[in-house]
Amino acid sequence: MTALISGSVAYDTIMVFRDRFKNHVLPEQVHILNVAFLVDQLRREYGGCAGNIAYNLMLLGQRGLPLSTVGKDFGTYAQWMKDWGVPMDYVKRFDDHYCAQAYITTDLDDNQITAFHPGAMNLAHEVKVPTNEGAKIGIVAPNGRDGMVQHAQQFADAGIPFIFDPGQGLPMFNGEELLDFVEKATYMAVNDYESRMVQDRTGLSMDDLAKKLDALIVTRGAEGSDIYANGETIHVDAVTPEDVLDPTGCGDAYRAGLLYGLLNDLDWRTTGQIASLMGSLKVARAGTQNHHFTLEQFRKWYKKAWGSDF
């Protein structure tokens, strides 16, 4: 079974500053800010929502097709995807652009300064939603603005149910545009903060939004997640990770769990529990695609966490 994943494919360059930004930024001089931070740790990770979701879905034994645009520096990422069996059928390369990239500097208080270059991601609309893959489910995750709008319409026109996952792309859309996504989508997945933003911009409550969807999923970090479906709210506890090293990409791992449940016609509680465990496994590893396991291992961990199989 196949899932279509509209979203970004990006590089994340992560740097650690062994001090605190507040010790080097003078509040009364921010209008002439000129600072440099010496970082003794740097790593470059493969990321982007579509890349992360497809990778996690692959670990669960399912086929996820990224609908993404990349640039001339895609080479090493392409080899990574090939090595792990992540399909690149609908990843389109533009040699006059760079891949999307985030440059993130984190200090000892976990404050972050991020510079994001969208690059080829802004051309995501150049990739069309395929109708010949027999896709059972899709997802519209953060991507180029026009790509998100057009892919949602194309999913709806093709009759392919999809999850609307606005994520970091949420600020690009006003209330009317968000409502249009909700009207087209079958499901929506947001974190707690994003759910408040959607409510504020649309003027609709959680109950109002849930009535327009088959399911509304809200993740709440260590407090677990809530799934509003069939007129009821299903709370799913968070799975305690073996360590907390890096939350980046945790939401994408969770969404891969949602897609797995939908692909396999599982009930919402089981689907939420799979998603919760996926997030826990990710947060225990640095980077968004550095956790590895077999489906057999995952089933054992699931049984340990929840006392049953799926």
Tell me whether residue 34 is in a domain: no
pLDDT attached to residue 203:
97
Walk along the chain (310 residues) and give the pLDDT tens digit of each residue. Answer: 899 999 999 999 989 899 999 999 888 877 888 889 999 889 999 999 999 999 999 999 999 999 999 999 999 999 999 999 999 999 999 999 999 998 989 888 878 888 999 999 999 999 999 999 999 999 999 999 999 999 999 999 999 999 999 999 999 999 999 999 999 999 999 999 999 999 999 999 999 999 999 999 999 999 999 999 999 999 999 999 999 888 889 999 999 999 999 999 999 999 999 999 999 999 999 899 999 999 999 999 999 999 999 9
> CA-CA distance, 240 to 160, in Å (whole number)?
34
Total domains in the chain come to 1
CATH number for the domain harbouring residue 104: 3.40.1190.20
Q: What six digits make up the tokens of 242?
A: 């073996």
| Segments forming the whole domain that contains residue 210 | 2-21+41-306
- The sheet with strand 225-229 has its strands ordered as 91-93, 63-70, 2-6, 137-140, 162-164, 187-191, 215-219, 225-229, 232-236
Does the residue 123 lie in any domain? yes
For 132-150, the pLDDT digits (tens) are: 999 999 999 999 999 999 9
Residue 139 Rama label (left phi>0; alpha psi -120 to 50; beta): beta
For residue 13, the surrounding DSSP H or E stretch is strand 10-16
Residue 10 lies in a domain: yes
Q: Which residues are catalytic?
A: 252
CA of residue 49 relative to chain centroid, distance: 4
> Helices 175-184 and 192-202 meet at what angle, rounded to 10?
110
Sign of the dihedral defined by the CA atoms of residues 71, 150, 65, 219, in that order: positive
Whether residue 28 lies inside any domain: the answer is: no
Is position 158 within any domain? yes
The span from the CA of 79 to the CA of 86, in Å, is 10
Note whether residue 27 is domain-resident: no
